[in-house]
Chains A and B, each alone.
Chain A
Amino acid sequence: MGNLEALKPFPDSEEMEISFGPQHPATHGVLRVLLRLDGERIVDAKPVIGYLHRGTEKIFERETYNGTIPHTDRLDYTAAATNNQALVGVVEKIMGVTVPPRASAVRVLLAELQRIASHTIWLGTHALDIGAQSPFFYTFEEREKILDLFEEYCGARLTLNSMRVGGQPYDLPDGWTDRCRTFVDQFPARVAEWERLLTTNRIWKLRTVGVGVISAANAVEWGLTGPPLRGSGVKWDIRKVFPYDRYEQYDFEIPVGANGDTYDRYLVRMEEMRQSVRIIQQCLAKLPDGPVMAKVPKVIKPPKGEAYFSVESPKGELGFYVVSDGGAHPYRLHVRPACFINLQALPEMVRGLLVADLIAVIGTLDIVLGEIDR
């Protein structure tokens, strides 16, 4: 009965209100969007979130600092390595720890592989939502290879728990660098293959060009970060603005779009995968020797104070804000989630579009509800 109630048209107009999700495959999890429609056209949209809220920030407060790392895996579960990187980064910042060069290099390797893995999921599911089924199978094949590399490094494929405050828990296994090199050397050809399927595809362009446009000024105003911001032409990447883990040694470009539409964001992410390959190749070529763990106390007790640290996650700026009272547990550990802030701009981007375009825009924002709801 409840559903019929929601379908009741407004008495004085042709508008109706429908609930898109939370159990809809194109919402990438449990997002619910309350839509006001005039026929097929969206008058207004209101995202309703919180279905996956697990109280992560509350749980952080009872964990030790290293104990919070597995919980960060479960924020953006398609990009566990960059989540780990942000968390250990903030604790190292407040403690004043310098990480050995080899540990930084391993982190960069994991983070860039993770960026590729995350973007392959995005491409597969985004294309699937729009109706192109085949890229999904090709992209997941490549992702499997990355997950195999992760499994070999830390034993886990999805929730990696792969970094510690002060460095890395393990050195790279024998032969790992060779297998990683084999993967990245063949990967650009795969990207080119996917681009042949999509970039000049007429249907793909009809569904993405000019859809979900957001101007550069508006994107900054709405706090967008990551590919949604770069798609609008703003050259902004935390890896360049506030380099962490010695990113300043690597030579890479920040791709930007021009029109701020779904198609440009697609091009930006495709190019980002190629740039990640470049970073990994440079990193493997000059992988430093030495320890992977700095000298840190067994029990991590940062000094009294507060610090914020952010990384460029595949979705945007992922930050952690830690407040320490000098004890072994964080007094407060707050996540600045990229997806949460990016999703806020959804109504702005879909007003006036068709319902089918909403699916394209949700796909292009590349949201993960684990990070939005925390």
Chain B
Amino acid sequence: MTEQDKPTAPADTPAQPPAAPKPPWEEKPVTPVPQDAREHAQVREIAAAVPGAVIAAVEFAGQVTVTVDRERIVEVGRACKETLGYAFLVDLTAVDWQDRPEGRFDVVYWLHRHADSVRLRLKLQVGVDVEVASVTGVWKVADWMEREVFDMFGIYFGGHPNLERILTWEGFSGHPLRKDFPLEGIDTGAAVYPDVFPPGGGPVAGGEGE
């Protein structure tokens, strides 16, 4: 009897139960889709607390991003902290969109509210050489974060108590995380002691390095 000749399952056997749904890790990933979040509770709160400051709101992967007016960031930040209870500024960073016409950089604030453990992302669109007001007066923790953004992207924070470079050194030229900064690095002018470290060689005899 060949394989084809085998009788099919008799009709009286119970029908196979429908295959159990595959567990999610055997399926293709469920890609999150951005959704308009203007009606989201977190966004409405902000829109009510600072009328007119919200420009756009998107929800993606369960996280709400609110784009706000650049000039009103301190006002928005203070309202978020004092009225809405976002006491903890978790993170502050920037993203470089080199060729975007409406402003090259995004400055991104990531806030946390302890009462119900929700988080909120505020976003500003900033052009080159445009000053952003510092939020160090609202959240002390923003101090070093803003210094890092200044160092890495060259975004100025007006009213910052001590806006210096933090990860690179004073006198470093350029802002490494800008997209037009070469990946292989630049000549940093680190050869400030040519007598100790001559170009293309190690320390020389009699130099201070010995």
Our pick among A221, A305, A308 for the contact of B141 (Cβ within 8 Å) is A221
Q: Which residues of B contact A374 (CB under 8 A)?
A: 167
Q: Which residues of A contact B119 (CB under 8 A)?
A: 308
Contact call A295/B28, Cβ cutoff below 8 A: yes
Contact call B108/A94, Cβ cutoff below 8 A: no
Number of interface residues of B (CB under 8 A): 47
Contact call B27/A295, Cβ cutoff below 8 A: yes
Contact call A223/B31, Cβ cutoff below 8 A: no
State which of B8-16, B72-80, B88-96, B126-134 sits at the interface with chain A: B88-96
Contact call B32/A295, Cβ cutoff below 8 A: no
Contact call A50/B176, Cβ cutoff below 8 A: no
Known A53-B168, A317-B90; judge A222-B110 contact (CB<8 A): no
**In the complex, what residue of chain A is closest to B28 when comparing beta carbons?**
A295
Known A242-B117, A305-B34; judge A223-B93 contact (CB<8 A): no
Contact call A331/B90, Cβ cutoff below 8 A: no
Main secondary structure of the interface of B (DSSP, over half): loop
A-B pair number, CB within 8 angstroms: 121
Contact call A96/B30, Cβ cutoff below 8 A: yes
Known A242-B117, A321-B108, A334-B91; judge A94-B61 contact (CB<8 A): yes
Interface: A93 (CB within 8 A): yes
B84 to chain A minimum Cβ distance, whole angstroms, is 15
**In the complex, what residue of chain A is closest to B34 when comparing beta carbons?**
A305
Interface: B202 (CB within 8 A): no
Contact call A332/B95, Cβ cutoff below 8 A: yes
Contact call A220/B87, Cβ cutoff below 8 A: yes
Contact call B61/A93, Cβ cutoff below 8 A: yes
**In the complex, what residue of chain B is closest to A293 when comparing beta carbons?**
B25
Within residues 207 to 242 of chain A, which ones have a CB less than 8 A from any CB in chain B? Answer: 220-223, 236, 241-242
| Measured CA separation A167–B23 after assembly (Å) | 14
Contact call B29/A319, Cβ cutoff below 8 A: no
Contact call A291/B25, Cβ cutoff below 8 A: yes
State which of A12-20, A55-63, A78-86, A137-145 sits at the interface with chain B: A55-63
| Measured CA separation A343–B202 after assembly (Å) | 35
Q: Which residues of B contact A311 (CB under 8 A)?
A: none
Contact call B167/A50, Cβ cutoff below 8 A: yes
Contact call B28/A223, Cβ cutoff below 8 A: no
Interface: A100 (CB within 8 A): yes
| Measured CA separation A221–B138 after assembly (Å) | 9
Interface: A287 (CB within 8 A): no
Contact call A222/B25, Cβ cutoff below 8 A: no
Interface: A130 (CB within 8 A): no
17 contacts between A and B (CB under 8 A): A49-B166, A96-B29, A97-B25, A98-B25, A99-B25, A221-B139, A221-B141, A223-B88, A223-B141, A291-B26, A295-B29, A305-B34, A305-B61, A306-B121, A307-B60, A310-B90, A331-B95
Q: Which residues of B contact A (CB under 8 A)?
A: 23-34, 60-61, 63, 65, 87-91, 93, 95-96, 108, 110, 114, 117, 119, 121, 139-141, 143-145, 152, 165-169, 176-177, 181, 183, 185
Q: Which residues of A contact B (CB under 8 A)?
A: 49-50, 53, 55, 57-58, 61-62, 93-100, 103, 166-167, 220-223, 236, 241-242, 291, 294-296, 303, 305-308, 310, 317, 319, 321, 323, 331-332, 334, 336, 340-341, 344, 373-374
